[in-house]
A and B are shown apart, each in its own frame.
Chain A
Amino acid sequence: GAVVSQHPSRVICKSGTSVKIECRSLDFQATTMFWYRQFPKKSLMLMATSNEGSKATYEQGVEKDKFLINHASLTLSTLTVTSAHPEDSSFYICSAREGGARTNEKLFFGSGTQLSVL
């Protein structure tokens, strides 16, 4: 399957600092990437949909000024958690959509980033 690279895999930071997470599609171009958040033993919660060259679409309840998403190229999307607080501690996962039609598309995930805010 297609490869999606996500870095860093683990971040520990102090409260009030900003953290940037990168998501790259290595062997395909992804016009659409998604950012998810997952709490322990819970399912994936979609935060935002990132389209190359345009503004991200945020899900209801997700603060766009806190979670800045940039999708500058067809292979790179970044999520910046600004002024992080302990409640932002979570597992963040990006994914990229491969395939042009709804009947052959697949969604591949990055390896995830465990964020711990002290």
Chain B
Amino acid sequence: QKEVEQNSGPLSVPEGAIASLNCTYSDRVSQSFFWYRQYSGKSPELIMSIYSNGDKEDGRFTAQLNKASQYVSLLIRDSQPSDSATYLCAVDGGTYKYIFGTGTRLKVLA
């Protein structure tokens, strides 16, 4: 069974620090990887997508992908209290399905 694993947290970081969120996946043929942010009571919002090994930066966010290790991470620089949310890792599961992790709850302390 294809799986996406995340630490549920909460991960607490002080304001201004770097938050590091990690995700591992089981399906070696996955080609698309996503990070979503979800506030309580709201639907997920796409933060980053990454498709090839290495780093991809967008503003304060950097996604890192290592297909050999089946590992994808999200770094949030200069964390703000407004970044406090649950971050979902998603991986394409083939046949256009997407498999979501259970999410990591991030708390940025002011």
- Known contacts being A43-B102, A102-B92, A104-B51, is A49 close to B43, with CB within 8 Å? no
Q: How far is the CA of A104 from the CA of B34 in the complex (A)?
A: 11
B contact residues, total (Cβ < 8 Å): 23
* SS class, residues of chain B in contact with chain A: loop
Q: How far is the CA of A93 from the CA of B41 in the complex (A)?
A: 11
B102 touching A102, Cβ below 8 Å: no
B31 touching A103, Cβ below 8 Å: yes
Q: How far is the CA of A108 from the CA of B100 in the complex (A)?
A: 14
Interface size class of A (residues with CB under 8 A): 20 to 34
- For A107, give the chain B residue with the smallest CB separation: B98
Contact with A along B95-110 (1 / 0, CB 8 A): 0111011110000000
Quick one: which of B5-44 are within 8 Å of A by CB? 31-32, 34, 36, 41-44
- Known contacts being A102-B92, A103-B51, A107-B90, is A46 close to B45, with CB within 8 Å? no
Quick one: which of A58-106 are within 8 Å of B by CB? 91, 93, 97, 102-106
B31 touching A44, Cβ below 8 Å: no
Q: How far is the CA of A91 from the CA of B34 in the complex (A)?
A: 21
B46 touching A106, Cβ below 8 Å: yes
Q: A interface vs B, CB < 8 Å?
A: 1, 6, 32, 34, 42-44, 46, 49, 91, 93, 97, 102-112, 114
Task: Give 12 CB contacts A-B under 8 Å.
Answer: A42-B102, A46-B98, A49-B96, A103-B51, A107-B90, A109-B36, A109-B43, A109-B44, A110-B43, A111-B42, A112-B42, A112-B43
